[in-house]
């Protein structure tokens, strides 16, 4: 690859993800209309959009985290575990302190600590990044289950929990009110975080360094950038953002914690990162698509009477279709998965 | 003093040089065990239970007592039963570990042993509950082969997606796991193809007697012939990798796919074979569990029983993908799993729902520590060798020319 191409790659976000998301969304909607015929309007309405935002939010958070980590060159299979950590510690923190902001804070710290374990193993000890990420997932499943059983075994769902508040926007006109009124605060945080991560990556020195480290760590190091430091920051930051997604699930959406409640959303988020071409905007759209498929499946189950088990497959199947059929020619960060320095 | 001689001094280097090379391995391994036990003890202590008693309780639940002298009477009976449980659980675990280790040698991560195990289980149930006339023991063989084929097909489909489109195999196989779980729930629900005769329960028929594997040790929950099948597969895996041209091709593709392609090896076909063989092993694991032990599938337990596919990844990594390593790691993890199960652990020492999660957590810690030390150990060894060489050079330089000649 020429120096020019590398420069273009580092300085400019890509287009194309939008097109593919629209294409797949059209496919899903077309299928629904074909399935339901005249009653499709009962399912395809503003309420579906609102549900899409809710289901997409945890995936968007995790995907934004995944972008930070992967653009710095570290594969983060551990997103799932970091979300789970955020889900438990957010709920627990809010329960113990009686304050949801402290719950969110604890969730972010927990996600950061789990990510730190991943960073220590994969950056400093140069372990295989997939192995290290899987280990973090196992660790998180066991740890959160263990602590959940220890603290909440007798009460199930914690009583008197202060959940993250919903944002009331009743004055919005008609369908906009259905879409945006009563969405959780973290949904709005998610909406703001997408452009924020975009800005960080493409408009700040730190973002340029992060991408440079992910593309060519050797060159970045020659230019005086500490590859280790950037990668640690990126991975820990990625865990913190992913934890917000988990925290939304437990403390914002459901109001309780169940063992392994993330149910593969961290991996769907990784697929969203890839499908979205490693850009915040692309990943956001891809996550909306996956969230939308969950929302649609939920509604079809009620309207069309299709087996709930079969419809539960929809988001996973759509993730596969997206990965396989429409990945396009996006290239992963060049140094993704490679430890630095390359040999001991 | 040059940088090189400085590097060869200091207490850390003194210590490193003072330790003999083989002892270094033992110390790093011992350190891993201590770290793991330390974390376990800490976690138990936080919950207000006695760590020593709890860890001993887990050991007891593993059936270690069966090997100790002086354990008699009812104690012995229960220890033997616990040991039998470990072997029953080790059977599928050996196979799912191979299901991960084999494709890994060819350079691909198969995280899908969970789904492949389930597909094997579905096939085993479908064939094992069907009345196929007087097949005799061939009924079990047929059900087993069907399970292998189902697992291989499911894994093969996953890797085809990878080789044809470049989709990441880790994510593809994880999506396949969830799809396998929900397909199974649908198939076992009322009206589904695997549903039995109870209209209120999402449960299959029982496997027919002709398709059951023979019991070899114990009654009630006996160790079944599957353990021999599993051990044979592990040995076969070792032989395949080290003694056959297919094994060589797998290793070559895993070590350097570009070089392998230049050497004329068919990359895609090799990866397909690796995944299909791995999937067949995972499917076999499902068949052994169903035909030898469980006999019946229930929708609500699919996720739990197929967890053996996830633990298999940890076993393959801990066992470094080698047959002996896999056997030892399987015994450790099967022991952990069984020792912490509700049937085996004394709830006054540590409640089993805590202990089960503790086992998962420890698996994570072990894999993380092993993955990290895979780098640490060679580096320590290299540092030791470098320090020794430097000291020798310094000592030689310090000699007078006369001494050096003499």
B139-176 per-position pLDDT tens digit: 999 999 999 999 999 999 999 988 888 788 888 998 99
Q: Considering only CB atoms, which chain A residues are within 8 Å of B356?
A: 145
CA distance A29 to A289: 11
| Interface check B360 vs A, CB under 8 A | yes
Interface of B with A in 33-92 (CB under 8 A): 43, 46-47
Q: Considering only CB atoms, which chain B residues are within 8 Å of A128?
A: 371, 374
CA distance A320 to A330: 16
Mark yes or no for CB contact A135/B364 under 8 Å: yes
Token digits of residue A233: 């920051």
Which of B167, B179, B310 has its CB closest to that of A323?
B167
Q: Read off the pLDDT of residues B366-385 as tens digits, 9 standing for 90 and up.
A: 888 888 777 777 778 888 88
Confidence of residue A294 (pLDDT cuts 50, 70, 90): confident
Q: What is the reported pLDDT for A34?
A: 75
Mark yes or no for CB contact A150/B317 under 8 Å: no
Q: Which residues of chain B have pLDDT under 70?
A: 1-9, 404-406
CA distance B189 to B187: 6
CA distance A100 to A91: 8
Q: Considering only CB atoms, which chain B residues are within 8 Å of A120?
A: 372
Residue B243 CB-density burial (10 A; 0-12 exposed, 13-18 middle, 19+ buried)? exposed
Per-residue pLDDT, averaged over A7-33, amounts to: 67
Best mutation target, B364, B366, B380, B386, to test chain A (most A CBs within 10 A): B364
| Interface check B182 vs A, CB under 8 A | yes
Best mutation target, B107, B202, B360, to test chain A (most A CBs within 10 A): B360
Which of B186, B314, B374 has its CB closest to that of A310?
B186
CA distance B113 to B289: 14
Longest dimension (CA), chain A: 65
CA distance B49 to B348: 9
Residue B143 CB-density burial (10 A; 0-12 exposed, 13-18 middle, 19+ buried)? buried
Q: Which long-range contacts (CB under 8 A, 24 or more apart) does B61-68 make?
A: B61/B338, B61/B339, B61/B340, B61/B341, B61/B344, B61/B345, B61/B346, B62/B86, B62/B335, B62/B336, B62/B338, B62/B339, B62/B344, B63/B335, B63/B338
Task: Indicate if the pLDDT at residue A208 is higher than 90.
Answer: yes
3-state secondary structure of A15: coil
Mark yes or no for CB contact B175/A320 under 8 Å: yes
Which of B109, B360, B382 has its CB closest to that of A130?
B109
Q: Which residue has the tokens 């060519």?
A: A216
Q: What is the reported pLDDT for A344?
A: 45
Contact assessment for residue A28 and residue A293, using Cβ atoms and an 8 Å cutoff:
yes
Query: Could you tell me whether strands B215-217 and A183-184 are parallel, antiparallel, or unpaired per DSSP bridges?
Result: unpaired
End-to-end CA gap in chain A: 27
The residues facing B224 across adjacent strands are B215
Task: For A54-123, give the DSSP string.
Answer: HHHHHHHHHHHHHHHHHHTT---TTHHHHHHHHHHHHHHHHHHHS-HHHHHHHHHHHHHHHHHHHHIIII
Token digits of residue B91: 């059977």
Mark yes or no for CB contact A316/B317 under 8 Å: no
Q: Show the CA angle centred on residue B194, arms to residues B189 and B199, nearest 5°.
A: 45
Measured from the Cβ of residue A175, the count of other Cβ atoms closer than 10 Å reads: 13
Token digits of residue A95: 């329960």
> Is the ipTM, as predicted for this complex, more than 0.90?
no
Q: Nearest to residue B110, comparing CAs of B121, B120, B102?
A: B102
> Closest Cα of chain A to B362: distance in Å?
7
Q: Which residue has the tokens 């997408």?
A: A194
CA distance B247 to A4: 43
| Interface check B135 vs A, CB under 8 A | no
Contact assessment for residue B230 and residue B91, using Cβ atoms and an 8 Å cutoff:
yes
CA distance A277 to A281: 9
Contact assessment for residue A18 and residue A262, using Cβ atoms and an 8 Å cutoff:
no
Q: What is the reported pLDDT for B248?
A: 93
CA distance B284 to B146: 9
Q: What is the reported pLDDT for A139?
A: 92
Find, in chain B, the residue whose alpha carbon is nearest to that of A143: B361
Mark yes or no for CB contact B371/A121 under 8 Å: yes
Interface of B with A in 239-298 (CB under 8 A): none
Confidence of residue A343 (pLDDT cuts 50, 70, 90): low
Mark yes or no for CB contact A135/B367 under 8 Å: yes
Contact assessment for residue B288 and residue B224, using Cβ atoms and an 8 Å cutoff:
yes
Q: Considering only CB atoms, which chain A residues are within 8 Å of B46?
A: 150
Q: Read off the pLDDT of residues A91-150 as tens digits, 9 standing for 90 and up.
A: 999 998 988 999 999 999 999 999 999 999 999 888 889 889 989 999 999 999 888 888
Mark yes or no for CB contact B167/A146 under 8 Å: no
Least confident range of A102-106, A290-294, A296-300: A296-300
Average pLDDT of chain A to the nearest whole number: 86
Find, in chain A, the residue whose alpha carbon is nearest to that of B186: A309
The residues facing A184 across adjacent strands are A166
Note the Cα A109 to chain centre separation in Å: 17
Which of B111, B177, B375 has its CB closest to that of A125?
B375
CA atoms within 13 A on the CB side of A225: 25
Mark yes or no for CB contact B175/A143 under 8 Å: no
Q: Read off the pLDDT of residues A25-73 as tens digits, 9 standing for 90 and up.
A: 777 777 777 777 767 777 778 888 899 999 999 999 999 999 999 999 9
Mark yes or no for CB contact A146/B359 under 8 Å: no
CA distance A142 to A206: 35
Sign of CA dihedral A45, A269, A62, B46: positive
* H/E segment holding residue A293: helix A280-303
């Amino acid at each position: 690859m020429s120096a020019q191409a590398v420069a273009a790659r580092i300085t400019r976000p890509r287009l194309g993800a939008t097109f593919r998301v629209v294409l797949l969304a059209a496919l899903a909607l077309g299928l629904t209309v074909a399935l339901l015929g005249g009653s499709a309007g009962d399912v395809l309405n503003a309420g579906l959009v609102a549900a899409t935002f809710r289901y997409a939010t945890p995936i968007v958070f995790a995907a934004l985290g995944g972008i930070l980590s992967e653009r710095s060159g570290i594969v983060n299979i551990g997103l799932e575990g970091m979300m789970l950590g955020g889900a438990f510690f957010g709920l627990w923190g809010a329960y113990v302190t009686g304050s949801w902001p402290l719950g969110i804070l604890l969730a972010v710290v927990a996600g950061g600590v789990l990510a730190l374990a991943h960073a220590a193993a994969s950056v400093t000890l140069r372990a295989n990044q997939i192995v290290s990420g899987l280990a973090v997932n196992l660790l998180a499943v066991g740890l959160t289950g263990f602590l959940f059983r220890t603290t909440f075994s007798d009460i199930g769902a914690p009583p008197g929990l202060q959940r993250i508040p919903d944002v009331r926007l009743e004055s919005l006109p008609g369908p906009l009110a259905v879409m945006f009124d009563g969405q959780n605060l973290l949904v709005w945080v998610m909406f703001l975080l997408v452009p924020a991560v975009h800005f960080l990556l493409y408009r700040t020195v730190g973002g340029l360094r992060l991408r440079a480290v992910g593309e060519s760590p050797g060159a970045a190091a020659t230019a005086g950038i500490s590859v280790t430091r950037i990668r640690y920051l990126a991975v820990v930051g990625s865990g913190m953002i992913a934890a917000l997604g988990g925290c939304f699930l437990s403390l914002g959406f459901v109001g309780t914690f169940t063992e392994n409640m993330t149910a593969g959303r961290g991996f769907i988020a990784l697929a969203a990162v890839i499908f979205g071409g490693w850009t915040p905007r692309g990943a956001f759209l891809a996550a909306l698509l996956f969230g939308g498929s969950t929302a649609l499946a939920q509604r079809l189950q009620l309207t069309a009477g299709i087996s709930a088990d079969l419809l539960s497959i929809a988001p996973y199947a759509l993730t596969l279709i997206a990965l396989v059929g429409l990945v396009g020619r996006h290239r992963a960060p060049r140094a993704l998965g490679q430890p630095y320095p390359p040999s001991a | 003093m040059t940088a090189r001689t400085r590097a060869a001094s200091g207490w850390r280097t003194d210590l490193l040089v003072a330790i003999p090379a083989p002892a270094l391995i033992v110390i790093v391994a011992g350190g891993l065990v201590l770290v793991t036990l330390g974390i376990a003890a800490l976690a138990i202590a936080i919950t207000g239970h006695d760590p020593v008693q709890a860890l001993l309780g887990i050991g007891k639940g593993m059936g270690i007592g069966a090997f100790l002298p002086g354990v008699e009477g009812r104690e012995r009976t229960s220890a033997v039963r616990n040991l039998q449980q470990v072997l029953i659980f080790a059977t599928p675990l050996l196979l799912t570990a191979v299901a991960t280790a084999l494709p890994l040698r060819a350079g691909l991560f198969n995280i899908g042993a969970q789904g492949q195990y389930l597909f094997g289980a579905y096939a085993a149930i479908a064939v094992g509950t069907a009345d196929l006339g007087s097949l005799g023991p061939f009924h079990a063989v047929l059900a087993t082969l069907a399970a292998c084929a189902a697992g291989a097909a499911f894994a093969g489909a996953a890797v085809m997606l990878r080789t044809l489109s470049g989709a990441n195999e880790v994510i593809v196989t994880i999506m396949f796991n969830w799809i396998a779980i929900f397909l199974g729930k649908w198939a076992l629900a009322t009206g589904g193809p695997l549903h039995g005769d109870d209209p209120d329960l999402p449960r299959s028929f029982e496997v027919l007697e002709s398709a059951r594997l023979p019991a070899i040790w114990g009654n009630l929950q006996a160790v079944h012939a599957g353990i021999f099948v599993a051990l044979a597969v592990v040995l076969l895996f070792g032989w395949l990798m080290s003694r056959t041209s297919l094994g060589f091709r797998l290793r070559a593709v895993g070590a350097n796919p570009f070089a392998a392609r230049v050497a004329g090896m068919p990359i895609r076909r090799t990866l397909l074979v690796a995944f299909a063989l791995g999937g067949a092993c995972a499917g076999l694991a499902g068949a052994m569990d169903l035909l030898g032990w469980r006999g019946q599938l229930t929708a609500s337990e699919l996720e739990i029983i197929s967890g053996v596919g996830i633990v298999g990844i940890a076993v393959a990594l801990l066992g470094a993908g080698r047959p002996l390593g896999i056997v030892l790691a399987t015994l450790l993890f099967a022991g952990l799993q069984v020792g912490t199960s509700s049937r085996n652990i004394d709830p006054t020492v540590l409640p089993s729902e805590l202990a089960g999660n503790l086992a998962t957590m420890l698996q994570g810690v072990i894999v993380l520590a092993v993955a990290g030390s895979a780098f640490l150990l060679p580096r320590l060894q290299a540092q030791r060798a470098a320090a020794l060489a430097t000291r020798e050079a310094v000592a030689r330089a310090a000699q007078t020319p006369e001494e050096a000649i003499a």
